[in-house]
Amino acid sequence: MRPAGPKPIIANTDTLMPSTAPGATKPPINWPATLMLSLTALPVVAALPVYLWFADPTPWVWFWAGLLLAANGMSITAGYHRLWAHRAYKAHPALKWLFAFFGGMAVQNSILIWATNHRQHHAHVDDDHRDPYSASRGFWYSHIGWMLRNYPGAEPDYSRARDLLDDPIVAFQHKHYLWFAFGSNIGVVLLLGALFGDMLGFVLIAGFARLFVSHHFTFFINSLAHIWGRQPYTRTNSARDNDFLAFLTWGEGYHNYHHIFQADYRNGIRWWQFDPTKWLIATAARLGLASDLRRVPEFKIRRQIVSEQFERARAALETQPAHGRLAELRTHLDEEWQQFSHTLAEWTALRSKELDSAKQQLRERWEASEFKRELRALERALEEALREQQWRMQALSRQLGRQLVAA
């Protein structure tokens, strides 16, 4: 049964599914979504340039437009996405209400529908029949085209969202979504326009332009982040890491990492990677507004990178004759694989010891035990071994690439 509440006017970036059956007729146009996207874009394209030519908006217009854009974007990334869709951490009710309000203001659907269908995307990524916006159908389709028609499978599968159905904040926002979406946009924008004496400027810039930018930056994760960028962790799906998109999407651009480690509260896992959503969540934890932040162990991250390096090197060697320098590189690759297998075996034994010890001791004693410190030291040593192997594999891959070019 569908939860109570109106059907939102605009679909989020994870709602509809295509029909790819041969000879299938196109589904009917999704007029609410089409009108919403058109009416959002039209003032930006037609009216805003004229306004900017003849008028001089106050700096406050740009300030509040940027602030609301950040509030909308971070409510989608930190709230809709990492909190509700992936349960990467727990949040205080006060923080959840802020995410519900400003997420609704972004007009990307209710939390319930957005998060439910985002889980479906992760479960069936790149499947033209079950991935709501399969990137294999092209940029236009994955970016916006999938929202413009009522494709089969548009109804969210709430069997994936039992936890969301039990969340009173999610249920309330879903039931009253239209108020969250339109009440927040109309009320906040008009109030600011009245306060600063520039109603038209606030409506065009802090209203329509903000929504237009917010929508399409989010849509880039569905389209560009599955087409343009690096794949250091896996090639089993089309997701890419892209630093430029991370800048536009509040840290969501590290999409190849996210698709392999979706429960991590971080997308940009290195300190230099631009991920303000990660920083917001970490700050909220320090303030007591978030807890139980989930992080993938460094060893598992390194293991995945090195494993992918092996897959690429093997694939490159499979089509080449095993003689000369290529034969030497193949031997080096086999030696590295033996070292990799040995490191994984040590890690498995380490985790087994840790679990056995935890079962035998009270948690307090375990946390303070000398045995745990010894295990952590060994764990760090194994991480360092994988890091060094990652560097060696990078050097081996460069040599292999040069040999293949010369062959």
> Residue 153 pLDDT more than 60?
no
Under DSSP, the state recorded for 57 is: -
CA angle 129, 131, 135 (to 5 degrees): 100
pLDDT given at position 326 = 72
- Euclidean distance between CA atoms 66 and 73, whole angstroms: 10
Residue 182 token pair: 């339109």
Q: Are 124 and 131 in contact (CB under 8 A)?
A: yes
Interval 230-239 mean pLDDT: 94
- For 188-226, write each residue's pLDDT tens digit: 999 999 999 999 999 999 999 999 999 999 999 999 999
b vs e for 137-157, b when ≥16 Cβ sit within 10 Å of the residue's Cβ? beeebbbbbbbbbbbebbebe
| Helix, coil or strand: residue 376 | helix
- For 364-392, write each residue's pLDDT tens digit: 554 556 666 766 777 777 778 778 878 87
Residue-averaged pLDDT of the chain: 85
Please list the residues that pair with 50 across neighbouring strands. none
- Euclidean distance between CA atoms 329 and 313, whole angstroms: 10
- Euclidean distance between CA atoms 73 and 102, whole angstroms: 8
- For 70-120, write each residue's pLDDT tens digit: 999 999 999 999 999 999 999 999 999 999 999 999 999 999 999 998 998
How long, in residues, is the chain? 407
pLDDT given at position 134 = 86
- For 4-38, write each residue's pLDDT tens digit: 444 444 444 444 344 444 455 788 888 888 998 89
For the chain, report the end-to-end CA distance as a whole number of angstroms. Answer: 62
From the centroid of its chain, how far is CA 233?
A: 15
Query: Model's pTM, two decimal places?
Result: 0.84
| Helix, coil or strand: residue 287 | coil
Nearest to 116 by CA among 14, 16, 2: 14
- Euclidean distance between CA atoms 327 and 216, whole angstroms: 49
Unique residue bearing structure tokens 């520039």 = 198
> Residue 349 pLDDT more than 80?
no
